[in-house]
Structure 1
Amino acid sequence: MGMLDIYKITYEGKKDTLTLYLNMYDKEKLKAPLGFKFKE
């Protein structure tokens, strides 16, 4: 059980909006959603 953060993602030139639900409060290793990567 945990809290979720909700982010609406838009892209320039795209009409679709992507909704991401992220739980950054658990102590497990963070994973990027499919198609995304962490900024280095």
Structure 2
Amino acid sequence: MSILSLSIYFLMWPAIVLGVMIVIGHAFFSDWKKAREAGEDII
């Protein structure tokens, strides 16, 4: 395995995790905003 392919493989996982965290965070804050506007608790 070359250094370039190993580097790409190693750096791919943090990028995937970041993408998933962005999606989860966006959904959470969207639900939080809707609950706040409706005057309800998020839980």
TM-score range for the pair, normalised by the shorter chain length: under 0.3
| Rg comparison, structure with higher value | 2
Task: Determine which structure has greater relative contact order: mean sequence separation of CA pairs < 8 Å that are 6+ residues apart, divided by chain length.
Answer: 1
More strand by share: 1
More helix by share: 2
* TM-score, normalised relative to structure 2: 0.24
